[in-house]
Amino acid sequence: MRQNESFSVKDYAVTGESFSLKKHPDLNMWLTEPMPKDLDPYYQSEDYISHSDASDSLFEKLYQRVKKYSLNKKLRLLSRYSLRKGRLLDYGAGTGAFVKQALKGGWQAQGVEPNNRARIHAQNKGLSLEQNWKGFPNEEFDLITLWHVLEHLPDLHGSISRIRELLKPNGILVLALPNFNSWDAQHYGPFWAGYDVPRHLWHFSRESVEELFRAHKVELLGTHPLYFDAFYVSLLSEKYRSGKMRWIAAIVNGIRSNASAMVSGEYSSLIYVLKKTENAF
Protein backbone atom coordinates (compact mmCIF):
# COMPACT_ATOMS: atom_id res chain seq x y z
CA MET A 1 0.00 0.00 0.00
CA ARG A 2 1.39 3.39 -0.98
CA GLN A 3 1.83 5.83 1.88
CA ASN A 4 1.49 9.06 -0.13
CA GLU A 5 -1.91 10.71 -0.59
CA SER A 6 -1.77 10.84 -4.39
CA PHE A 7 0.38 9.92 -7.39
CA SER A 8 0.28 10.41 -11.15
CA VAL A 9 -0.58 7.74 -13.74
CA LYS A 10 -0.86 8.05 -17.54
CA ASP A 11 -3.47 6.72 -19.92
CA TYR A 12 -0.99 4.56 -21.82
CA ALA A 13 -3.68 2.79 -23.84
CA VAL A 14 -5.38 5.64 -25.72
CA THR A 15 -4.63 9.34 -25.09
CA GLY A 16 -1.37 9.65 -23.14
CA GLU A 17 -3.06 12.03 -20.69
CA SER A 18 -2.03 12.10 -17.05
CA PHE A 19 -4.42 11.58 -14.15
CA SER A 20 -4.05 11.54 -10.37
CA LEU A 21 -4.88 8.64 -8.11
CA LYS A 22 -6.01 10.01 -4.76
CA LYS A 23 -6.55 8.11 -1.55
CA HIS A 24 -10.17 7.60 -0.54
CA PRO A 25 -10.90 9.50 2.70
CA ASP A 26 -12.50 6.49 4.42
CA LEU A 27 -11.65 3.29 2.56
CA ASN A 28 -8.42 1.56 1.55
CA MET A 29 -8.84 2.44 -2.14
CA TRP A 30 -7.85 5.04 -4.73
CA LEU A 31 -9.92 7.40 -6.87
CA THR A 32 -9.07 8.60 -10.39
CA GLU A 33 -9.12 12.39 -10.70
CA PRO A 34 -10.28 14.25 -12.61
CA MET A 35 -13.15 11.98 -13.59
CA PRO A 36 -13.89 12.76 -17.28
CA LYS A 37 -17.43 13.97 -17.98
CA ASP A 38 -17.46 11.91 -21.17
CA LEU A 39 -15.68 8.56 -20.95
CA ASP A 40 -16.61 7.28 -24.42
CA PRO A 41 -13.52 8.72 -26.20
CA TYR A 42 -11.27 6.75 -23.85
CA TYR A 43 -12.73 3.49 -25.12
CA GLN A 44 -12.31 4.36 -28.79
CA SER A 45 -9.33 2.18 -29.57
CA GLU A 46 -8.86 -0.93 -31.68
CA ASP A 47 -6.60 -2.17 -28.89
CA TYR A 48 -9.45 -2.23 -26.36
CA ILE A 49 -9.80 -5.96 -26.71
CA SER A 50 -12.77 -6.56 -24.40
CA HIS A 51 -14.98 -4.63 -26.84
CA SER A 52 -13.97 -6.77 -29.82
CA ASP A 53 -13.39 -10.40 -30.72
CA ALA A 54 -10.12 -9.68 -32.52
CA SER A 55 -7.72 -12.61 -32.87
CA ASP A 56 -5.18 -11.41 -35.46
CA SER A 57 -2.00 -10.87 -33.44
CA LEU A 58 -0.29 -13.43 -31.21
CA PHE A 59 -1.38 -11.42 -28.18
CA GLU A 60 -5.03 -11.41 -29.34
CA LYS A 61 -4.97 -15.14 -30.13
CA LEU A 62 -3.65 -15.94 -26.66
CA TYR A 63 -6.15 -13.58 -25.05
CA GLN A 64 -9.09 -15.26 -26.80
CA ARG A 65 -7.82 -18.75 -25.94
CA VAL A 66 -7.40 -17.87 -22.26
CA LYS A 67 -10.82 -16.17 -22.27
CA LYS A 68 -12.48 -19.32 -23.56
CA TYR A 69 -10.82 -21.42 -20.85
CA SER A 70 -11.74 -18.86 -18.18
CA LEU A 71 -15.42 -18.80 -19.18
CA ASN A 72 -15.84 -22.47 -18.29
CA LYS A 73 -13.90 -22.01 -15.08
CA LYS A 74 -16.13 -19.09 -14.07
CA LEU A 75 -19.26 -21.15 -14.61
CA ARG A 76 -17.86 -23.94 -12.44
CA LEU A 77 -17.17 -21.40 -9.70
CA LEU A 78 -20.75 -20.11 -9.87
CA SER A 79 -22.10 -23.64 -9.42
CA ARG A 80 -20.33 -23.78 -6.04
CA TYR A 81 -22.44 -20.89 -4.73
CA SER A 82 -25.75 -21.34 -6.54
CA LEU A 83 -27.69 -24.58 -6.06
CA ARG A 84 -29.89 -23.97 -9.09
CA LYS A 85 -29.32 -22.40 -12.49
CA GLY A 86 -31.82 -19.56 -12.37
CA ARG A 87 -31.80 -16.03 -13.73
CA LEU A 88 -28.37 -14.51 -14.37
CA LEU A 89 -27.51 -10.93 -15.34
CA ASP A 90 -24.04 -10.08 -16.64
CA TYR A 91 -23.38 -6.34 -16.42
CA GLY A 92 -20.66 -4.99 -18.68
CA ALA A 93 -21.10 -8.03 -20.91
CA GLY A 94 -18.73 -6.82 -23.63
CA THR A 95 -19.30 -8.86 -26.77
CA GLY A 96 -21.52 -11.30 -24.87
CA ALA A 97 -19.12 -14.22 -24.47
CA PHE A 98 -20.03 -14.96 -20.86
CA VAL A 99 -23.78 -14.56 -21.50
CA LYS A 100 -23.55 -17.02 -24.37
CA GLN A 101 -21.57 -19.51 -22.28
CA ALA A 102 -24.03 -19.19 -19.38
CA LEU A 103 -26.95 -19.87 -21.73
CA LYS A 104 -25.19 -23.01 -22.92
CA GLY A 105 -24.69 -23.99 -19.29
CA GLY A 106 -28.41 -23.86 -18.56
CA TRP A 107 -28.75 -20.37 -17.05
CA GLN A 108 -31.50 -17.93 -18.04
CA ALA A 109 -28.82 -15.38 -18.88
CA GLN A 110 -29.15 -11.76 -19.98
CA GLY A 111 -26.62 -8.99 -20.34
CA VAL A 112 -26.07 -5.24 -20.19
CA GLU A 113 -23.39 -3.51 -22.27
CA PRO A 114 -23.23 0.30 -22.59
CA ASN A 115 -20.73 0.28 -25.47
CA ASN A 116 -22.42 0.27 -28.87
CA ARG A 117 -19.51 -1.36 -30.69
CA ALA A 118 -19.47 -4.29 -28.26
CA ARG A 119 -23.26 -4.71 -28.51
CA ILE A 120 -22.97 -5.00 -32.30
CA HIS A 121 -20.45 -7.83 -31.88
CA ALA A 122 -22.91 -9.49 -29.48
CA GLN A 123 -25.71 -9.15 -32.04
CA ASN A 124 -23.54 -11.01 -34.52
CA LYS A 125 -23.56 -13.89 -32.01
CA GLY A 126 -27.35 -13.82 -31.85
CA LEU A 127 -27.44 -11.99 -28.50
CA SER A 128 -29.48 -8.91 -27.68
CA LEU A 129 -27.86 -6.97 -24.85
CA GLU A 130 -29.51 -4.09 -23.03
CA GLN A 131 -27.72 -0.73 -23.02
CA ASN A 132 -28.34 0.02 -19.33
CA TRP A 133 -30.13 -1.06 -16.15
CA LYS A 134 -33.44 0.42 -17.36
CA GLY A 135 -34.12 -2.68 -19.44
CA PHE A 136 -35.10 -4.60 -16.28
CA PRO A 137 -37.98 -2.82 -14.52
CA ASN A 138 -39.37 -4.76 -11.55
CA GLU A 139 -37.17 -7.78 -12.30
CA GLU A 140 -34.97 -9.82 -9.97
CA PHE A 141 -32.05 -12.15 -10.58
CA ASP A 142 -30.58 -15.09 -8.71
CA LEU A 143 -27.06 -14.10 -9.70
CA ILE A 144 -25.43 -10.92 -11.06
CA THR A 145 -21.89 -10.84 -12.43
CA LEU A 146 -19.55 -7.93 -13.18
CA TRP A 147 -16.28 -9.22 -14.65
CA HIS A 148 -13.83 -6.29 -14.39
CA VAL A 149 -16.66 -3.77 -14.65
CA LEU A 150 -17.34 -2.14 -11.26
CA GLU A 151 -14.15 -0.09 -11.51
CA HIS A 152 -15.55 1.53 -14.70
CA LEU A 153 -18.86 2.79 -13.27
CA PRO A 154 -18.96 6.54 -12.48
CA ASP A 155 -21.81 6.34 -9.94
CA LEU A 156 -20.32 3.74 -7.63
CA HIS A 157 -22.82 3.84 -4.77
CA GLY A 158 -25.79 4.29 -7.09
CA SER A 159 -24.67 1.27 -9.12
CA ILE A 160 -24.28 -0.89 -6.01
CA SER A 161 -27.75 0.15 -4.82
CA ARG A 162 -29.22 -0.77 -8.23
CA ILE A 163 -27.43 -4.14 -8.18
CA ARG A 164 -28.88 -4.86 -4.76
CA GLU A 165 -32.39 -3.97 -5.98
CA LEU A 166 -32.00 -6.41 -8.87
CA LEU A 167 -30.85 -9.29 -6.66
CA LYS A 168 -33.39 -11.68 -5.19
CA PRO A 169 -33.25 -12.24 -1.39
CA ASN A 170 -30.04 -14.17 -0.71
CA GLY A 171 -29.03 -13.58 -4.35
CA ILE A 172 -25.36 -13.88 -5.28
CA LEU A 173 -23.15 -11.12 -6.68
CA VAL A 174 -19.83 -11.96 -8.34
CA LEU A 175 -17.19 -9.31 -9.05
CA ALA A 176 -13.75 -9.49 -10.64
CA LEU A 177 -11.46 -6.57 -9.82
CA PRO A 178 -7.78 -5.63 -10.15
CA ASN A 179 -5.89 -5.57 -6.86
CA PHE A 180 -3.42 -2.73 -6.31
CA ASN A 181 -1.90 -4.61 -3.36
CA SER A 182 -0.62 -7.37 -5.65
CA TRP A 183 3.07 -7.99 -6.24
CA ASP A 184 2.87 -6.94 -9.90
CA ALA A 185 1.15 -3.65 -8.95
CA GLN A 186 3.94 -2.84 -6.50
CA HIS A 187 6.60 -3.90 -9.02
CA TYR A 188 5.35 -1.81 -11.95
CA GLY A 189 4.19 1.22 -9.94
CA PRO A 190 2.62 3.91 -12.16
CA PHE A 191 3.16 1.67 -15.23
CA TRP A 192 0.88 -1.03 -13.79
CA ALA A 193 -1.76 -1.78 -16.43
CA GLY A 194 -4.33 -2.54 -13.72
CA TYR A 195 -4.73 1.18 -13.06
CA ASP A 196 -5.91 1.74 -16.68
CA VAL A 197 -6.89 5.38 -16.09
CA PRO A 198 -9.30 6.97 -16.73
CA ARG A 199 -11.38 3.92 -17.71
CA HIS A 200 -10.78 2.60 -14.20
CA LEU A 201 -12.27 5.22 -11.92
CA TRP A 202 -11.97 3.24 -8.68
CA HIS A 203 -9.07 1.10 -7.48
CA PHE A 204 -9.97 -1.48 -4.84
CA SER A 205 -8.32 -3.53 -2.15
CA ARG A 206 -9.89 -6.60 -0.55
CA GLU A 207 -10.65 -4.58 2.58
CA SER A 208 -12.37 -1.78 0.67
CA VAL A 209 -14.63 -4.20 -1.22
CA GLU A 210 -15.76 -5.87 1.99
CA GLU A 211 -16.43 -2.54 3.77
CA LEU A 212 -18.09 -0.91 0.77
CA PHE A 213 -20.58 -3.71 0.22
CA ARG A 214 -21.21 -4.26 3.92
CA ALA A 215 -22.57 -0.71 4.00
CA HIS A 216 -25.07 -1.77 1.30
CA LYS A 217 -26.05 -4.97 3.18
CA VAL A 218 -24.19 -7.26 0.83
CA GLU A 219 -22.02 -9.81 2.62
CA LEU A 220 -18.65 -11.06 1.33
CA LEU A 221 -18.63 -14.87 1.21
CA GLY A 222 -15.19 -15.44 -0.24
CA THR A 223 -12.48 -14.52 -2.75
CA HIS A 224 -10.85 -16.50 -5.54
CA PRO A 225 -7.73 -15.78 -7.63
CA LEU A 226 -7.56 -15.03 -11.34
CA TYR A 227 -4.13 -16.51 -12.04
CA PHE A 228 -3.88 -15.54 -15.71
CA ASP A 229 -4.40 -11.85 -14.97
CA ALA A 230 -0.91 -11.57 -13.48
CA PHE A 231 0.58 -12.53 -16.87
CA TYR A 232 -1.79 -10.40 -18.97
CA VAL A 233 -1.30 -7.32 -16.78
CA SER A 234 2.47 -7.83 -16.58
CA LEU A 235 2.71 -8.02 -20.37
CA LEU A 236 0.81 -4.76 -20.82
CA SER A 237 2.80 -3.15 -18.00
CA GLU A 238 6.05 -4.12 -19.74
CA LYS A 239 4.74 -2.45 -22.90
CA TYR A 240 3.81 0.72 -21.01
CA ARG A 241 7.18 0.87 -19.27
CA SER A 242 9.48 -0.03 -22.16
CA GLY A 243 7.38 0.38 -25.30
CA LYS A 244 7.84 -3.32 -26.09
CA MET A 245 5.92 -6.54 -25.45
CA ARG A 246 8.60 -8.17 -23.30
CA TRP A 247 7.14 -11.66 -23.10
CA ILE A 248 9.84 -13.37 -21.02
CA ALA A 249 9.87 -10.60 -18.40
CA ALA A 250 6.07 -10.66 -18.24
CA ILE A 251 5.97 -14.43 -17.77
CA VAL A 252 8.63 -14.30 -15.05
CA ASN A 253 6.84 -11.47 -13.24
CA GLY A 254 3.48 -13.18 -13.59
CA ILE A 255 4.95 -16.25 -11.89
CA ARG A 256 6.53 -14.11 -9.18
CA SER A 257 3.24 -12.31 -8.54
CA ASN A 258 1.23 -15.52 -8.24
CA ALA A 259 3.91 -17.11 -6.05
CA SER A 260 3.84 -14.09 -3.72
CA ALA A 261 0.04 -14.18 -3.61
CA MET A 262 0.03 -17.83 -2.52
CA VAL A 263 1.38 -16.50 0.77
CA SER A 264 -0.28 -13.07 0.98
CA GLY A 265 -3.55 -13.74 -0.86
CA GLU A 266 -2.94 -10.56 -2.87
CA TYR A 267 -3.41 -11.80 -6.44
CA SER A 268 -3.23 -9.45 -9.43
CA SER A 269 -7.01 -9.75 -9.77
CA LEU A 270 -9.54 -11.30 -7.42
CA ILE A 271 -13.04 -12.69 -7.82
CA TYR A 272 -15.32 -11.61 -4.97
CA VAL A 273 -18.44 -13.65 -4.20
CA LEU A 274 -21.05 -11.76 -2.18
CA LYS A 275 -24.61 -12.37 -0.99
CA LYS A 276 -27.52 -9.99 -0.53
CA THR A 277 -28.73 -9.97 3.06
CA GLU A 278 -31.41 -8.10 4.96
CA ASN A 279 -29.40 -8.16 8.16
CA ALA A 280 -27.55 -5.11 9.41
CA PHE A 281 -23.90 -5.65 10.23
In residues, how long is the chain? 281
Q: What is the pLDDT of residues 20-48, one digit of tens each?
A: 999 999 999 999 999 999 998 998 876 55
The answer to whether 225 and 261 are in contact (CB under 8 A) is yes
Domain locations in the chain?
6-227+268-276
Torsion of CA 32, 93, 147, 144, to 10 degrees: 110
- Could you give the percent of the chain with pLDDT greater than 70? 89
Output the CA–CA distances (angstroms, integers) from residue 231 to 29, 33, 67, 238, in the order listed.
Answer: 23, 27, 13, 10
Quote the pLDDT of residue 57.
66
pLDDT-wise least confident of 2-6, 87-91, 139-143: 2-6
- Could you give the percent of the chain with pLDDT greater than 90? 75
Q: Which of 149, 207, 211, 186 is nearest to 268 (CA)?
A: 186
Q: Which residue has the higher pLDDT, 146 or 54?
A: 146
Q: Give the homologous superfamily in CATH for domain 6-227+268-276.
A: Vaccinia Virus protein VP39 (3.40.50.150)
Provide the whole-model pTM.
0.90
**1 pLDDT higher than 50:** no
**137 pLDDT higher than 90:** no
